[in-house]
Structure 1
Amino acid sequence: MLSIKKKSILALAVAASFSTQVVAAPTNTQDEEPMEVVVVNADFNNINIEQMPSSVTVIGEQQIQDEGAEHFQDVLNSIANFNWSGGSSRPRYFQIRGVGEQEQYQGAPNSSVGFVVDDIDLSGLGMVSSMYDMQQVEVLRGPQGTQYGANALAGLIYLKSNDPTDTFEHGAKVSLGDDDLTTFSGFSSGPLTDSGKLLYRVSVEKHDQNGFMTNDYLGRDDTNKRDELSAKAKIRWYMSDDLQADLTLLHANFDNGYDVWTLDNNGTNSLTDVPGVDTQKTTGVGLKLTYSGFKTAELTSLTSFANTDHRQMYDGDWANPDYWADKECTEYDDDWNPIGTSPCHYDYTWDKAAKRKTLTQELRLTSTQDGRIFNGSTDWLVGVYAMNLKEDNDLYSEYNGDPDEVLQSEYEASNYAAFVQLDSQLGDGYLLSTGLRFERRVSEYSDTNNDNFSPSENMWGGHIALSKVINADHNAYIRVARGYKAGGFNMTLPVEFADKKEFSAETLYNYEIGLKSMWLNGDVATNIALFYMDRRDQQVSASLQDPDDQQRFILFTENASSSDNYGAELDAKWYANDNIEVYGSLGLLNATYGDYVYQDKNGNPVDLTGRELAHSPKATYSLGVTYFADSGWFANVNASGKSDFYYSDSNDSQSEPYTIINARIGYETDTWSAYLWGRNLADKQYGTRGFYFGNEPDQDWADKQYIRYGDPRQLGVTFDYKFM
């Protein structure tokens, strides 16, 4: 770990990590060390970024290590105006500024938040995101219409792992904790040849724990287990002075349980007889070729392929036959008149398996200094992009021993895009950035329910931004961006919902102003952004329980007329002295519907006009303090939280506000370190997903709120050893 004293001379790098703007670093006469610059790898101009006017959070390797983060789940709460839906064993569905998905129960994936790992597109599959050997986490807020297109309507999550090194370095780490947690990790990096032209890096992590749930019916404490393997290999080949090849191989196998729902919302003891599963096996490969032999431009080719098998199954009655047999249920005649009571018989399971393959190819030309146009004032970038996504789904649900829903589906979508960006120096510290992207999407869907769709559409997005270097310490910007998300279709709808078979594309206009600053001679860095988002033809996911068949849910997406989101974000870091660092974030959000009325399960109109969107807390916040003594002792305390938010657009059930406190204390040397750590030290019970429907036949299927909770308190110890 870098000492805080050493890190204090990198204060402008902190600003760069917040704003992604690289500035010339003044010489530090006291320490005489060059300024390290942090760039955003998600941006296509990351080699020579001078200005990127946008709200961006970068969580670097140092913060990841200081907080002892093992999974993306451990860092996401420190990101302003960012939320996630706990409908899976690990976070898979995300919301940025109130825009995103809460779940996906059927086929035809269509993400609002992009998720990219080392240039491999895993949008909608963010569950397999270990933080081991990770260089940094980048979250770009707002539509990324120019560079990423349809999968980044709300923004983009980009995970960048460490690259191969030209000298040998190796490491091993082990963590032990309650809940039977064991994590074993290791990495190795260095040259493969004496010439240093071929480098490698390999990292592996195996994580296991029981999952904080005791199944009283089966007498087990591992029905909600986490059994997770993550591996990655990188090869860098300097093929010539002008050509560099970077090959990335990743493999993740998450064989997790999914036993999280209880009828009494206790969150710790389940009664299911068929514990659920939530598995994802992903193998990906990415090849990046960079050719710099042209005088006026650099050519980059990005090829990626990802193959994923994932399955989610759960016990829908959330109990067992013995439990229900002890309950009395009302019997009805054919006309639904009550005729008496008898012991309940209720047994329901839901199971979906899917296979997804994603192939992407991108080519782009980026101007060099000699290639600038308009009298050398303007950098340019042009590119083309193609993606092919295939997903086959096999859905099966069973009610009281009989098949309830059986559906096999095939889906394929192809996207083709061309984009251009210009960054023009206007003089007097002004920089104008403009970008435009045209995208064509063609898709085809068919299933065993005889639903067949083949929609296609043309979409466009882009941005225009003006930034101004006020002085060496302050940079202001204003930005307007247009993002888009493809339209789609709803499968397996009953006849009475025929008018909802298809829904339109969504468009989002984002207006933003920001200020990125250094204060107190570089000891304090801040990034402030104010934004307004105008969503047009907003896509809304709805869920209705059939009043005549309580096991049947009608799921569909439709367009609301509009939605208005506005708010603010603040990231800040303060080097209080040579040994203490304070950092934090604050997000304020008001995300509400425009005109939107839907019908509930009884056919009654429900007007959501002016109501807050689901999973859109008005406030998100985090605060952390790191202390590093000259003697090697280390401590970190951090807290993060959210205000209350609605769980769904289909009902008014809400979460409770919460704050989570974590801590880490230990001793560090140049080669080894040992820590004691604790997560959720106050053992706060907090909801991450909620449903409101009838699931108890002995209560005549009365609607009730059911909550899935986040992880309770956990304590552990970590030992880390690194050597050359």
Structure 2
Amino acid sequence: MVLLTPFARMIPLPETTMRCRYSVVAACILASFGGVAEEFIERLEVQGDFRRLSVQNIAGSIAVLSTDDMQRSSAQHLDDVLNQLANVNFAAGASRGRFVQMRGIGERSEFIDVINPSVGVLIDGIDYSGLGISSIAHAEQLEVFRGPEATRFGTNAMAGMLNLTSKQPDFRRDGAVSATLANYNSWQLSGMVSDAISEQLAFSLTLDKQVSDGFIENTYLNRKDTNDIDELTARGRLLYRHSDQLQWQLIAHVIEQNNGYDAFSLDRNRTTLSDEPGKDKLSSKALALRSDYNGLSGVDLMWQLSWLSADSDYSFDEDWSFVGIRPGWEYSYFDRYLRSREQWTLDYRLVSDDEGRIGEHTDWVLGFYASGRELDLQRLRRAGSEFRQFDSSLYRDNLALYGETSTALSEQVTLIVGGRVERYKDEYTDSGELGIKQQHTMWGGKLSLNFQASEQAMIYTLLSRGYKVGGVNGEALSRAGDDGFSSLLQQATFEPETLVNAEFGVKGAAIDGSLVTRVAAFHMWRDAMQVKGWLNPDLGPEFAGFIDNAGRGRNYGIEMENRIVLHPSFTLHVNAGLLKSKLGPYVTQSGLDMTGRDQAHAPRFTYQLAGDWFLSEQLTLQASVQGKSGFYYSDGHNARSTSSELVNLRLTYQLEQWQFALWSRNALDKDQAVRGFYFGNDPRDEYAPHTYEQWGEPRRFGVTASYQF
């Protein structure tokens, strides 16, 4: 996308351009300057790939969201952003939605078993897969890679990758602060500053604090804050330019999350009856050291060494009710999961420059990747007056070699060949004195043929292969000795999954910038597909989850993103995705034959229709409609959501360096389900099975004031 930042740099502009103020789109600038406008347009580049290139020149379905794109729906969290994207969905089951699905593929929860993400998360090159993105405030950009990206990212990108980049250090002072007040007793205070310390040293720092009572009323406790939000995020960078050839960067992150978790209701609404509301806490710290060196002949060297430590506390009232709700039928359980995670990663890469090509027309990349991760779990469960504890530990190390070549076959045709070989080794132990060791060697890659029809249009064909590691079903092993659960002994482990993707895409733009379009059609074949299964032998409150391999699956469809300047004062954004997915041969533990059914959390239709309307020199109106069709909640049952449509509105007034915005998300107050289960949990109807759903946010409205300096 080609946009100005929400606060344009302080560049003297002609009078016609001043009418556009600081948040105008490229079309308005073009109307003022004609061909000279290019120097005032910020072109977004993909930072997560091997080379920084425009999204219009990279094969693959990639969306790059700028600050403007995230601001359009007044987004405060990743949940608010993902609804903009075609063929992207998410699941909550916690205080926030941190489990992402792309093209119908991705995990939906994490309890005892360690999840192996199909969609990974990187923040400033640090692996947050499984932890999610805590804050998007003042982010430089968010990149969304759809489809397998094994060559670049490895095992955590079988279905795609989210890559968030925080503010880069700038040797010119740049800063902004913003404050938000909203309903549900919500407020947010955030700020960003970047400046030079010396001629060689610069820094950037982003801080964000969010507080809200949440959207649940607990009538038993007479409280409205049992599902509250209380989050603090800090991200900083320190850049040292040793010379023109060498620069170092130190990156530091801190996250403190102390959210409540009381989301599911026996009455299947936003009113709960829990006497012991849970928590969703996270405390994490991360450091990374990066070096970029271009002093060698024909090759640039980049490496990054990172470390992350995270402790989480996730708990919930398992019965969703109180003692005395139905004597003789009721039960009282409380579940708590204490996790600790310690990891390090090293990514070491050689990238050819103009002098380091193989022959005259080939560029290349060669890299080495290593990581180690230790994951410890302590599950504390109270069942009535009985206390149960389960401890497990998993240590995983990964080693990988990867490479890619880009060969110009002619002035218009480029062939890209990439591959990655990765070996992982797991050592699992638990409190049942069980020890399991696993190791596998996996491979992925891509083959792409790109045809640059003109400077504004590219056509590509892409064949890529991704993979995801296998693992151990700790919950199945811990429950196999219980009455009715002996069949879980057959589910001790699960195998790696692989995916092959065939894709055809077109990317184009009008010379005057009035149209930018990207369209991709894809067909994906999944092998040894990992699905979430559940065993509930007597349909009561006791059940166990496990990960199973379900043979083959297919996912195919089309997605498009368009930006159309209909008038110098009005720009239209149209994103849409069509998706068809099928489960391969799979029969659940309860005997349900799921063969041929749609995969879980894979809506057949997703879309966003958004407009930016510049009403005057200072006033801008932005509106969007985001929707998705209904989808199945699980591969283990047939409960499904209804379709949803969300309307977002934002009215912005710009006054020099100040910006004031009045906004509303989900302005029509529509229900949107973000997680669902099907089982019996209500003693008042003798545990008859129902579809229980967690709802996304209701109508939100607020005001935001921002100041750029």
Which residue number corresponds to residue 362 of structure 1? 347
Q: Residue 443 of structure 2 aligns with which residue? A: 460
Secondary structure of 1:598's aligned partner: coil
What's the offset of the Cα at 1:492? Answer: 4.0
Any conservation in 1 of the 2:252–2:286 contact (CA below 8 Å)?
yes
Q: Is the 2:428–2:472 Cα contact (8 Å) retained in structure 1?
A: no
What aligned pairs does 1:453-532 form with structure 2 within 5 A after superposition? Answer: 453-493=436-476, 494=480, 495-519=486-510, 521-532=512-523
The letter of the residue matching 2:168 is: D
Q: Which amino acid aligns with 1:451?
A: L
Contact 1:449 1:492 in 2 (8 A): no
Corresponding residue for 2:15? none
Within 5 Å, which residues of 2 pair with 1:25-40?
28-29=34-35, 31=37, 33=39, 36-40=42-46
Q: 1:364 to 1:449 in 2, by over 3 A?
A: same
Match of residue 715, structure 1, among 693, 701, 705: 701
The letter for the 2-side match of 1:671 is Q
Q: Distance in 1 between matches of 2:350 and 2:37?
A: 39
Residue 702 of structure 1, CA deviation: 2.0
SS at match of 2:324: helix
Structure 2 equivalent of residue 296 of structure 1: 298
Q: Distance in 1 between matches of 2:248 and 2:315?
A: 41
Amino acid at match of 1:648: S
Q: Which residue is 1:105 aligned to?
A: 111
CA contact (8 A) 2:450 2:461 kept: yes
Residues 504-563 of structure 1 deviation map (CA, whole Å, 9 limit, x = unaligned): 111100000000012474301110000000001111110121318x33222111111100
Q: Higher mean Cα deviation, 622-631 or 72-81? A: 622-631
1:351 to 325, 332, 336: 336
Q: Secondary structure at the match of 1:63?
A: helix
Name the count of aligned residue pairs: 680
Cα deviation for residue 49 of structure 1 reads: 8.4
Matching residue of 1:640:
626
Which runs of 5 or more structure 2 residues have no equivalent in the other structure?
1-5, 9-19, 481-485
The 2-side partners of 1:399 and 1:34 are apart by: 64
Deviation at residue 633 of structure 1 after TM alignment? 0.7
Helix, strand or coil for the counterpart of 1:676?
A: strand
Post-superposition shift, 1:425?
0.5
Match of 1:312 among 311, 314, 336: 314
Normalised by the length of structure 1, the TM-score is 0.91
Alpha-carbon distance in structure 2 between the residues aligned to 1:606 and 1:706: 19
Report the CA distance between 1:675 and its aligned residue: 1.1
Shift of residue 708 of structure 1?
A: 0.7
1:433 matched residue in structure 2: 416
Two-structure CA RMSD over aligned residues (Å): 1.7
Match of 1:444 in 2: 427
Provide the TM-score with structure 2 as the length reference: 0.93
**1:67 is aligned with what amino acid?**
S
User: Which shifted more, 448-457 or 437-446?
Assistant: 448-457
**In structure 2, do the counterparts of structure 1 residues 133 and 492 end up closer, same or farther at CA, with 3 Å as the change threshold?**
closer
Code of the residue aligned with 2:244 in structure 1: it is: D
Matched, 1:62 2:47: no
Matched, 1:609 2:595: yes
How far apart in 2 are the matches of 1:456 and 1:530?
35
Matched position secondary structure for 2:427: strand
- Find the aligned partners of 1:182 and 1:6 in 2 and give their Cα distance: 29
Q: Bigger CA drift: 57-66 or 587-596?
A: 57-66
Aligned partner of 1:183 in structure 2 is 188
Cα offset, 1:406, TM superposition: 1.7
1:21 equivalent in structure 2? none
User: What are the superposed Cα offsets for residues 459-513 of structure 1, whole Å, 9 maximum, x if unpaired?
Assistant: 1100000010112332100000010111112124313232221221111000000
User: What are the residue-to-residue correspondences of 1:640-719 with 2, within 5 Å?
Assistant: 640-719=626-705
Structure 2 CA distance for aligned equivalents of residues 106 and 669 of structure 1 = 52
Output the CA distance in 1 between the equivalents of 2:675 and 2:42: 40
Any idea what the Cα deviations from partners look like across 1:234-289, whole Å, max 9, x if unmatched?
1111012211112111111111001111101012x211110111111121112210
- In the other structure, the counterpart of 1:387 is 371
1:205 to 199, 203, 208: 208
Q: Report whether the alignment pairs 1:591 with 2:581.
A: yes
In structure 2, distance between residues paired with 1:434 and 1:356:
35
Listed as ranges, the gaps of 5+ residues in structure 1 are: 12-26, 326-342
**Aligned partner of 2:517: which letter?**
T
Residues 167 and 206, structure 2, Cα contact 8 Å, conserved in 1: no
Equivalent-residue separation in structure 1 for 2:667 and 2:25 (angstroms): 30
CA contact (8 A) 1:5 1:577 kept: no
Look up the equivalent residue of 1:263 and give its one-letter code. L
Between 497-506 and 283-292, the greater mean CA deviation after superposition: 497-506
2:94 aligned counterpart, secondary structure: coil
Task: Give 1:50 shift.
Answer: 8.6
Per-residue deviation, residues 148-204 of structure 1 (Å, max 9, x unmatched)? 1111110100011121111122322110011001111122210011x2x10011111
Give 1:109 shift.
Answer: 3.4
For 1:410-421, what aligned pairs fall within 5 Å after superposition? 410-421=393-404
> Which residue number corresponds to residue 229 of structure 2?
226
For the 8 Å contact 1:5–1:578, the answer to whether it is kept is no
Q: Deviations over 1:295-341 (max 9, x none)?
A: 2100001111111111211101111113234xxxxxxxxxxxxxxxx
Cα distance between partner residues in 2 of 1:79 and 1:32: 27
